[in-house]
């Protein structure tokens, strides 16, 4: 009973306080303060040595990367909106948001809606310094939107459409007909050997390794740091 | 934002690996990065104050002095540092701009000194952050007004006329600067006196005088002494006309004089008299004629030639015209609202004065002006601004002594925007740009389509002859002149188009790419976690679309032909215009230029 009275009193006091704040207009201010507090949660990455061990970067490179990252995202994490925003600046012609979304998911290995520095650096390490197989695996995971281990036509179409979206409307030659679909058909022709309608990881890797052109391009991208 | 793009570039290029399995063609070779990738600390000595910063920090803005190779000119070998003989206090702000991406304007500094520093370091003032922009603009406007007054004062100068000045010049001088000769001064006072007499006569005319003998009713003095008053009026008008004609004769530019405010006032003051002479004694038009006589009161404005304060007031009002306009508009709105309310409130009542809404206007106006204090409170800032400006001007003028009595109203030069931006130096294409173009090139290869612009795209749709298009556009773009006109046209169209998209606009130098981007974010979404978005300046970008970055995309040739050095030595192609970066990647290949 005493607890109930206490709680009642507290409730009434709180109500009066909020009324007062409402009248004097600081209610919104408090809300903003609350929000600020939530977003001020900082994430600190693991130690430099650990990261150096886990990735293929040197300490120096990690330092440079982190300085840039921290400068951009003082809170230590990138959320999807920011990510899309940043990526869009590289492709002013078209709409990069869809592709950025898939890219975000590929980097966000823990699937918690934000990319920490470790995830960022791991992704970069795979893409820039990883073995051919690691890169191909990463790419496979990028295409495999629902993470079921198979790439089906719908997923591929999504990705290809996203890529064509980045080109924008004004291309030469003009995008007539359903060019993404043709592209997807060509892709499946190349990759899906047993005509199962889906591409597995092994099929993907094998097909890519057989593709001379792709291997050459991959090598060009070595160490684009 | 610069750091945003520069920092994330390796990431963006790495992410391009994801396109590779889809690519139908081989990727182009990435640009060779000659610089060493390791970061180092640079020492910058500004007049003895030593600053240290990462090289990367300065590299974020390759279009500035510190970000480009221009700083090598200031490198001191012995002390292994960059020495600048400039203000160290200001340099703090410059360096902070590099570090945080936001330029702040220090309030205690003189604005001209600040602008000079910015110009030296190659930073355009337009990128000042929102927090300091308003202060900066205000100070700049004040400064410009002061300069305008300076030049006005110089021009109006009291230097004695050359001895061979014509009568016209002497006369004009006498009119503009009455203190130069006794005659002019006499004339000045005489006209002033007659203006006063005329105005007083207008007022006294309407005062009721004792009636003439034999009549009971009070007469206005104007009718009792009608002869006297009309003589006085005629005399005044004659003097004013004479003065006006003399001024017109003496004016160096008659057209300009005729169009100036003071001359309009002069004309309006004497016109009713002449119209009255011409008009017949007709009952119908006499009503209109009486209205014209009202204009005689405008003679009081002729006093502005004699009073500095009046002219300054006029100037200030002109400057605050928009605020005044808004004030008037809001008053009108309020009047209409309340009048409507009053009308409908009293609608049922019999014998009410509010027979219609316009009838209740008068009541509302009176009430509101009585309550005008309320309005004053709301617009106090406007008034304070007015008063401060007035005070400032008066004080300045007082300090300067007598400024020439030239028409100050004409000194209110309209602001022509911040058109003083120093042109950015043409810098070599930076490594960042190369990488960005390479990235876009990869995308083109992946999709097997090329970037183009609206013009070419619509042309293609119309002609629909793909093969023919290729050769034509090639020949078009290889001519310098055509390219630049194309680019400038496309620039305008591009800016307007892209301003509506959710992506950033890259234009001109990389500094612009880095610091100015247009984003139409969904109704003010905040990005608390990233600083990239903090320098969005939408409006500037829409207005200043003259420069352009042209991207060079080479038409696909067999990879064997591609030489190792894909970087151009930036050959100075004859006639490269400012910021039209249309250099060829490779002199052997034909190039097709599309805008970025």
Q: Which of B440, B530, B533, B595 to mutate to test the interface with A (most CBs of A within 10 A)?
A: B530
- Strand A198-200 and strand A150-152: the pairing is antiparallel
Instruction: Check residue B366 and give its pLDDT.
Output: 81
Kindly list the residues from chain B whose CB atom is less than 8 angstroms away from the CB atom of residue A225: 10, 37
Judge whether B467 is closer than 8 Å to chain A, CB to CB: no
**Which band of pLDDT confidence, cut at 50, 70 and 90, is reported for residue B476?**
very low
- Which residue pairs from B278-285 have beta carbons closer than 8 angstroms and sit at least 24 positions apart in sequence? none
CB contact under 8 A, A216 and B26: yes
Residues in chain B with CB shorter than 8 Å from the CB of A73 are 529-530
For tokens 């930076």, the residue is: B430
Cβ-based contacts of B26 with chain A (< 8 Å): 213, 216-217
Q: Does B56 touch chain A (CB under 8 A)?
A: yes
Confidence of residue B540 (pLDDT cuts 50, 70, 90): very low
| pLDDT attached to residue B42 | 92
Q: How far apart are CA B256 and CA B318, in angstroms?
A: 19
Q: Is B178 part of the contact surface with chain A (CB cutoff 8 Å)?
A: no
Q: Nearest by CB to A173, which of B17, B439, B449? A: B449
pLDDT band at B47 (very low <50, low <70, confident <90, very high): very high
CA atoms within a 13 Å half-sphere pointing along the CA-CB vector of B488 = 10
For residue B93, the model assigns a pLDDT of: 92
Q: Is the ipTM of this complex over 0.90?
A: no
* Lowest-confidence pick of B200-209, B245-254, B527-536: B527-536
Instruction: Say how many CB pairs under 8 Å bridge A and B.
Output: 211
pLDDT band for position B259 (cuts 50, 70, 90)? confident
Stretches in chain A below the pLDDT threshold 50: 26-27, 37, 39
CB contact under 8 A, A103 and B15: yes
Q: In B, which residues are within 8 Å of A86 by CB distance?
A: 4-5, 8, 530, 532
Residues of B in contact with A168 (CB under 8 A): 451
What does residue A96 show for φ and ψ, rounded to 5 degrees? -95, 5
A179-193, B123-137, B501-515: segment of lowest average pLDDT: B501-515
Residue B373 touches partner A, C-beta closer than 8 Å? no
Give the C-alpha separation, A201 to A193, whole Å. Answer: 12
pLDDT of amino acid B46: 93
If you average pLDDT over every residue of chain B, what do you get? 69
Residue B484 has pLDDT above 60, yes or no: no
CA distance A54 to chain B (A): 18
Question: Could you give the CA distance from residue B532 to residue A82 in angstroms, rounded to a whole number?
Answer: 8
Between the CA atoms of B317, B323, B324 and B326, what dihedral angle is there, to the nearest 10 degrees? 160
Which 431-460 residues of chain B touch chain A by CB within 8 A?
A: 436, 439-440, 443-444, 446-447, 449-454, 456-457, 460
Q: Which residues of B touch A81 (CB under 8 A)?
A: 525, 527
Q: Do B449 and A124 touch (CB under 8 A)?
A: no
For residue B51, pLDDT over 90 is answered with: yes
| Alpha carbon of A78: minimum distance to chain B alpha carbons (Å) | 7
Q: Which of B3, B13, B14 sits opposite A71 (nearest CB)?
A: B3
Give A21 to chain B, closest Cα distance, Å.
25
CB-CB contact of B53 with B95 (8 Å): yes
- List the single residue in A86, A142, A208 with the smallest CB-CB distance to B532: A86
**pLDDT single digits (tens) A173-190:** 777 778 888 888 888 888
Between A167 and B5, where is the model more confident? A167
Task: Work out the average pLDDT over B119-136.
Answer: 88
For B400, counting Cβ atoms within 10 Å of its Cβ (0-12 exposed, 13-18 middle, 19+ buried), the class is: exposed
Nearest residue on chain A to B31, judged by CA atoms? A224
B502 touches chain A (CB under 8 A): yes
A65, A85, A223, best to mutate vs chain B, most B CBs in 10 Å? A85
Question: Which chain A residue shows the shortest CA-CA distance from B516?
Answer: A89
A68: nearest CA partner in chain B: B7
Contact A139 B457 (CB under 8 A): no
B15-B20-B21 Cα angle (round to 5): 125
Separation between Cα atoms, residue A73 and residue B528, nearest integer Å: 8
Q: Which residue has the tokens 């052109």?
A: A213
Chain A contact for B551, CB < 8 A?
A: no
Measure in Å the smallest separation between the Cα of B7 and chain A Cα atoms: 5
pLDDT band per the 50, 70, 90 thresholds, residue B245: very high
Best CA proximity match to B506, nearest among B437, B447, B573, B444: B437
Residue with token string 């963006």: B12
Q: Which residues of A touch B19 (CB under 8 A)?
A: 163
Among the partner residues B56, B440, B503, nearest to A64 by beta-carbon distance: B56
Instruction: For chain A, say whether B36 makes contact (Cβ under 8 Å).
Output: no
Q: Model confidence over B372-414: pLDDT tens digits?
A: 766 666 667 677 777 777 766 666 666 655 444 344 444 444 4
For chain A, give me the number of helices (H) and strands (E)?
12, 5
Topology (CATH) of A58-128: Recoverin; domain 1 (1.10.238)
The verdict on B27 touching A (C-beta cutoff 8 Å) is yes
CA distance B40 to chain A (A): 10
In terms of average pLDDT, the best of B70-74, B132-136, B224-228, B494-498 is B132-136
Facing A163 at nearest CB: one of B19, B54, B594: B19
CA distance A55 to chain B (A): 15
Tokens describing residue B476: 């078009």
Rounded distance between C-alpha atoms, residue B233 and residue B239, angstroms: 10
Q: What is the pLDDT of residue B413?
A: 41
- The CA distance from A69 to the nearest CA of chain B, in Å, is 7
pLDDT band of B69, cuts 50, 70, 90: confident
Task: Quick: pLDDT tens for B302-361.
Answer: 887 777 778 778 777 777 788 788 888 988 898 899 888 888 888 877 777 777 888 788
A74/B22 touch (CB, cutoff 8 Å), yes or no = no
Q: Is B469 on the interface with A (CB under 8 A)?
A: yes
All residues of chain B having their beta carbon less than 8 Å from the beta carbon of residue A104 are none
B109 touches chain A (CB under 8 A): no
Q: Where are the domains of chain A?
A: 58-128, 131-221
Q: Do B451 and A164 touch (CB under 8 A)?
A: no
What is the distance in angstroms between the Cα of B369 and the nearest Cα belonging to chain A?
30
Reduce the secondary structure of B221-271 to three states and give it as a string: HHHHCHHHHHHHHHHHHHHHHHHHHHHHHHCCCHHHHHHCHHHHHHHHHHH
At B348-382, the pLDDT tens digits run: 777 777 778 887 888 888 887 777 766 666 667 67
Contact A124 B10 (CB under 8 A): yes
Best mutation target, B18, B33, B441, B470, to test chain A (most A CBs within 10 A): B18
Q: Chain B closest CA to A120's CA: distance in Å? A: 9
Residue B170 at interface with chain A, using a CB cutoff of 8 Å: no
In A, minimum Cα distance to B41 occurs at A64
- A131-221 matches A58-128 in CATH topology: yes
Distance in angstroms (rounded) separating the CA atoms of residues B344 and B354: 9
Does the pLDDT of residue B498 top 70, yes or no?
no
- Are residues B449 and A72, on separate chains, in Cβ contact within 8 Å? no
Is there a contact between B467 and A181 (Cβ–Cβ < 8 Å)? no
Please judge whether B20 and A91 are an interchain contact, meaning their C-beta atoms are less than 8 angstroms apart.
no
Structure tokens at A142: 């990028």
Q: Which CATH class is domain A131-221?
A: mainly alpha
Q: How many of the other CB atoms lie within 10 Å of CB of A167?
A: 24
Nearest CA in chain B to A38: B528
Asked whether residue B423 carries a pLDDT value surpassing 60, the answer given is no
> What 3-state class would DSSP assign to B510?
helix
């Amino acid at each position: 009973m005493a607890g109930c009275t206490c709680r009642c009193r507290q409730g009434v006091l709180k109500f009066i306080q909020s009324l007062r704040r409402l009248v004097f207009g600081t209610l919104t201010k408090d809300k903003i303060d609350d929000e600020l507090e939530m977003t001020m949660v900082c994430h600190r990455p693991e130690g430099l040595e650990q990261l150096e061990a886990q990735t293929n970067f040197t300490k120096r490179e990690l330092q440079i990367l982190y300085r840039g990252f921290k400068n951009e995202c003082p809170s230590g994490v990138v959320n999807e909106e920011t990510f899309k925003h940043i990526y869009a600046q590289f492709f002013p012609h078209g709409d990069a948001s869809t592709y950025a979304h898939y890219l975000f998911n590929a980097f966000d290995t823990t699937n918690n809606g934000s990319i920490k520095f470790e995830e960022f650096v791991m992704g970069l390490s795979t893409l820039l310094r990883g073995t051919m197989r690691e890169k191909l695996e990463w790419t496979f995971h990028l295409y495999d939107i629902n993470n079921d281990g198979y790439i089906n036509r719908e997923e591929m179409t999504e990705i290809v459409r996203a890529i064509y979206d980045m080109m924008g409307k004004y291309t030469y030659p003009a995008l007539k007909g359903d060019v993404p679909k043709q592209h997807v058909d060509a892709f499946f022709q190349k990759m899906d050997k047993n005509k199962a309608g889906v591409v597995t990881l092994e099929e993907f890797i094998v097909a890519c390794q057989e593709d001379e052109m792709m291997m050459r391009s991959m090598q060009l991208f070595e160490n684009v740091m | 934002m610069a750091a945003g793009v520069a920092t994330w570039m390796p990431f963006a290029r790495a992410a391009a690996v994801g396109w590779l399995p889809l690519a139908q063609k081989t990727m182009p070779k990435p640009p060779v990065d000659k610089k060493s990738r390791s970061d180092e600390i640079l020492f910058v000595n500004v007049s003895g104050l030593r600053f240290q910063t990462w090289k990367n920090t300065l590299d974020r803005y390759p279009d500035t002095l510190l970000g480009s190779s221009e700083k090598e000119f200031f490198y001191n070998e012995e002390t292994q540092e960059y020495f600048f003989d400039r203000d160290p206090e200001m340099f703090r702000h410059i360096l902070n701009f590099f570090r945080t991406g936001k330029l702040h304007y220090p309030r205690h500094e003189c604005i001209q000194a600040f602008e000079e520093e910015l110009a030296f370091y190659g930073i355009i003032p337009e990128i000042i952050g929102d927090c300091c922009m308003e202060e900066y603009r205000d100070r700049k406007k004040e400064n410009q007004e002061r300069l305008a007054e300076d030049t006005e004062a110089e021009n109006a100068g009291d230097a004695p006329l050359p001895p061979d000045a014509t009568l016209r010049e002497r006369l004009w001088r006498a009119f503009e600067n009455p203190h130069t000769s006794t005659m002019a001064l006499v004339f000045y006072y005489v006209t002033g006196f007659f203006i006063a007499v005329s105005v007083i006569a207008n007022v006294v005319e309407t005062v009721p005088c004792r009636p003439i003998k034999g009549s009971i009713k009070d007469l206005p003095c104007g009718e009792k002494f009608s002869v006297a008053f009309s003589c006085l009026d005629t005399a005044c008008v004659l003097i004013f006309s004479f003065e006006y004609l003399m001024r017109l004769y003496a004016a160096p530019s008659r057209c300009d004089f005729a169009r100036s405010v003071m001359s309009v006032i002069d004309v309006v003051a004497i016109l009713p008299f002449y119209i009255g002479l011409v008009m017949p004694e007709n009952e119908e038009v006499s009503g209109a004629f009486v209205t014209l006589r009202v204009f005689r009161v405008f003679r009081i404005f002729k006093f502005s030639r004699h009073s500095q304060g009046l002219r300054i007031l006029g100037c200030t009002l002109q400057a605050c015209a928009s605020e005044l306009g808004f004030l008037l508009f809001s008053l009108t709105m309020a009047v209409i609202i309340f009048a409507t309310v009053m009308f409908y409130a009293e609608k049922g009542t019999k014998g009410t004065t509010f027979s219609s809404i316009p009838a209740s206007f008068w009541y509302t106006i009176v009430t509101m002006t009585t309550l005008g204090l309320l309005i004053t409170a709301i617009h106090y800032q406007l008034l304070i601004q007015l008063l401060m400006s007035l005070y400032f001007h008066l004080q300045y003028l007082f300090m300067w002594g007598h400024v020439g009595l030239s028409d100050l109203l004409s000194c209110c030069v309209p602001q022509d925007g911040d058109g003083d931006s120093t042109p950015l130096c043409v810098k070599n294409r930076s490594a960042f740009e190369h990488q960005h173009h390479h990235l876009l090139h990869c995308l083109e290869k992946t999709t097997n389509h090329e970037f183009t612009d609206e013009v070419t795209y619509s042309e293609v749709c119309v002609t629909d002859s793909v093969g023919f298009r290729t050769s034509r556009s090639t020949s078009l773009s290889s001519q310098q002149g055509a390219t630049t006109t194309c680019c400038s046209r496309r620039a305008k169209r591009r800016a307007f188009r892209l301003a509506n998209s959710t992506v950033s606009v890259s234009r001109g130098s990389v500094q612009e790419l880095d610091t100015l981007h247009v984003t139409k974010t969904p109704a003010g979404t905040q990005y608390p976690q990233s600083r990239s978005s903090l320098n969005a300046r939408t409006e500037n970008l829409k207005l200043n679309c003259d420069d352009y970055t042209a991207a060079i995309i080479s038409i696909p040739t067999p990879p064997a032909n591609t030489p190792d050095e894909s970087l151009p030595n930036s050959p100075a192609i004859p006639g490269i215009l400012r910021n039209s970066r249309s250099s060829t990647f490779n002199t052997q290949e034909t190039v097709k230029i599309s805008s970025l």
